[in-house]
Amino acid sequence: MMTTHQPRRTLTLVGLTTINIVIQLVIAAVVKYSTTHTHLWVLVAVYVVVLALNVGRFVVWGIIHTHFPIGIAYASSALLFPAILLMSYLYGEPVAWQQLLGVVLVMVGVVALVRDA
């Protein structure tokens, strides 16, 4: 049974997970960008940016783990899969129907787990 606090908890989980995913996507884009450059200063800048973003992810994960059970926290992180698939598509990489089906199946499972968080 859903209490009046359940929608707020679910919204909090989705919000924190979204922040975590956006940070992961930015890291992926920065690293992908760095592969096209060989200048030392670019690689050092990428290292610093990635390190700082991962510290931010660590803080967000700490908040998530403080307020939610570990099973719900890690299941919600699977929301990264459709975002990565979209990012792959935007970079011009091929996306197969099997990947789409896999993402749909994972998302169905995540919704089933998280809806009563």
Q: What is the spatial distance between Cα 28 and Cα 46, in angstroms, rounded to a whole number?
A: 11
User: Would you say the pTM of this structure is higher than 0.85?
Assistant: no
- Name the residue among 85, 66, 60, 65 with its Cα closest to residue 75: 65
Note the pLDDT tens digit of each residue in 9-32: 878 888 999 999 999 999 999 998
User: In this predicted model, what pLDDT tens digit does every residue of 79-93 receive, in sequence order?
Assistant: 889 999 999 999 999
Angle between helical axes of 80-90 and 6-34 (0-180°, round to 10):
30
Please report, for residues 70, 80, 104, the alpha-carbon distance to residue 75 in angstroms, rounded to integers and kept in the order given: 8, 10, 14
Better-scored residue on pLDDT, 41 or 113: 41
